[in-house]
Amino acid sequence: MATTPTTPPPAPKTNRIGLAVLDYKGGRTTLCAGCGHNAISERIIDAMFEMGVTPERVVKMSGIGCSSKSPAYFMSRSHSFNSVHGRMPSVTTGAVLANRDLMALGVSGDGDSASIGIGQFVHLMRRNLPMIYIIEDNGVYGLTKGQFSATADVGSKLKTGVINDLPPIDTCAMAIELGATFVARSFSGDKKQLHAMLKAAISHKGTVLLDVISPCVTFNDHDGSTKSYKYMKDHEEPLQDINFVPHFEEIDVDYDAGTTLEVTMHDGSRLRLHKLEAGYDPTNRIEAITRLHDAHEKGEVLTGVFYVNPKAPSFIDLLNMTDQPLATLPDSVVRPGREALEQCMEELR
């Protein structure tokens, strides 16, 4: 041991499991400079780091599209599966069935989820599978150079001048209707809100749907687009001011129960929603759906936690599976003994 006091180089800040933020980094992004998706990747890294999630426990799942490439750009220490277009939900379901200890983080896009993948999206929401499902929503197909997707608003204009005249699918309203138990919308440019939402999502046990408006700087950031940075700045209407207190943090500050709703998450963390809109109750599904419909009529882009129910049973609970991951059950458990076969044969004689 050194006896002379020296100034050690500042140790990198570590989280509660002793990892530095660098341990959550991914490969260099190949998406366009300024793409909203990159900001979302950054928020994921920060939230996972701050929550002290073991990277090896996480599986990053995706379909096809710009959004679905982004799992390569965060958390390289996590397994990842970039599957086929619109089918990430089923692949994720299989992975979670095989190993219930995994934390599944799906990254999809508006085309991948609301068009080709709407069937799997719908059924995933019904099952309340424990996973975080992020839609990086920009209203266009980026990789195929800017065609409208099914979340594009009526009247929204492409760079080519084409106007969208079909109504958009609101993935959040759908998710609430179908049974997802944590449904929120944010904006890739709203660092604080998205950060708090992601941390709450990590604490939730059930399906989290996070629709994040994430402007496409190349194909949908012009005047006339309703998914541009400028449009979002002008039209974003946050429902709440969101704070998140993780279960492992002792520090607490008082809050005004009259203006703030506190939701205790599955792991004991607390989600605090400071109401910017009097009377909104995010535990009421019907109210949530009505409010989303209102927002469309008013031309607002409503953001915030629309609905949360930390108590609903997840798909894993319903299947009554053994606590140990199915993937690693020993042979002696998965292959019944000789007497079991003999019994089956006897019944068939």
Partner 1 sequence: MSTIDVALNDAAGRTGHQPIVNDMSLQVATVNGSGSQSSNTVLLRSIFQMGVPVSGKNLFPSNIAGLPTWYTIRANKDGYIARKKEIDFLVAMNAETAQDDVKSLAAGASVLYDEPLNLSALRSDLIFYAVPYDKIVATVCPEAKLRKLVKNMIYVGVVAKLLDIDMGEVEKAIRKQFATKVKAANLNLAAAKAGFDYAVANLTKQDPFHITRMEKTQGKIIIDGNSAAALGCMFAGVTVVTWYPITPSSSLVETLIDYMKEHRVGPDGKATFAIVQAEDELAAIGMVIGAGWAGARSMTATAGPGISLMAEFAGLAYYAEVPGVIWDIQRVGPSTGLPTRTSQGDILSTAFLSHGDTKNILLIPSSVSECFSMATDAFNLAEQFQTLVFVMSDLDLGMNNWMSDPFDYPETPINRGKVLNKADLEKAGTFARYKDVDGDGVGYRTLPGTEHPAAAYFTRGSGHNERSQYSERPDDFERNMERINRKFETARSCVPRPEVVSTGKSKIGIIAYGTSHWAIVESRDQLHKEYKVETDYLRLRAYPFTREVHEFIEKHDRVYVVEQNRDAQMLSMLKLDIKAELTPRLRAVSHIHGLPLDARSVTDEIMTMEGK
- Provide the binding-site residues for partner 1, judged by CB under 8 A: 23, 54-57, 59, 61, 71-72, 76-84, 87, 89-99, 101-102, 119-120, 122-123, 319-323, 325-329, 331, 333-336, 338, 340-341, 344-345, 348-349
Nearer to partner 1, 114 or 302 (CB): 114
Nearer to partner 1, 79 or 266 (CB): 79
Nearer to partner 1, 91 or 273 (CB): 91
Q: How far is the CB of 205 from partner 1 (least distance, A)?
A: 17
Q: How far is the CB of 331 from partner 1 (least distance, A)?
A: 5
Decide: 44 and 78 in contact? Cβ < 8 Å: no
Decide: 126 and 179 in contact? Cβ < 8 Å: yes
* Encoded amino acid at 195, one letter: H
Q: How far is the CB of 51 from partner 1 (least distance, A)?
A: 18
* Encoded amino acid at 173, one letter: A
220 token code pair: 């949908």
Cβ contacts of 163 within 8 Å, gap of 6 or more: 155, 156, 157
Nearer to partner 1, 166 or 341 (CB): 341
Nearer to partner 1, 178 or 261 (CB): 178
Q: Tokens 């934390």 map to which residue?
A: 103
- Enumerate the β-bridge partners of residue 242: 273
Q: How far is the CB of 107 from partner 1 (least distance, A)?
A: 13
DSSP assignment string, 82-141: E-STT-HHHHHHHHHHH-TT-EEEEEEEHHHHHTTTHHHHHHHHHHT-SEEEEEEE-SEE
Q: How far is the CB of 296 from partner 1 (least distance, A)?
A: 27
Q: How far is the CB of 59 from partner 1 (least distance, A)?
A: 5
Residue 215 CA, chain-centre distance (Å), reads 17
Nearer to partner 1, 117 or 168 (CB): 117
Nearer to partner 1, 101 or 262 (CB): 101
Nearer to partner 1, 163 or 341 (CB): 341
Decide: 173 and 165 in contact? Cβ < 8 Å: no
Instruction: Give exposure, 185-218, as e/b (b: 16+ Cβ within 10 Å).
Output: bbbbbbeebbbbbbbbbbbbbbbbbbbbbbbbbb
Residue 75 CB neighbour total at 10 angstroms: 25
Cβ contacts of 298 within 8 Å, gap of 6 or more: none
Q: How far is the CB of 148 from partner 1 (least distance, A)?
A: 24
Q: How far is the CB of 235 from partner 1 (least distance, A)?
A: 35
* Encoded amino acid at 156, one letter: S
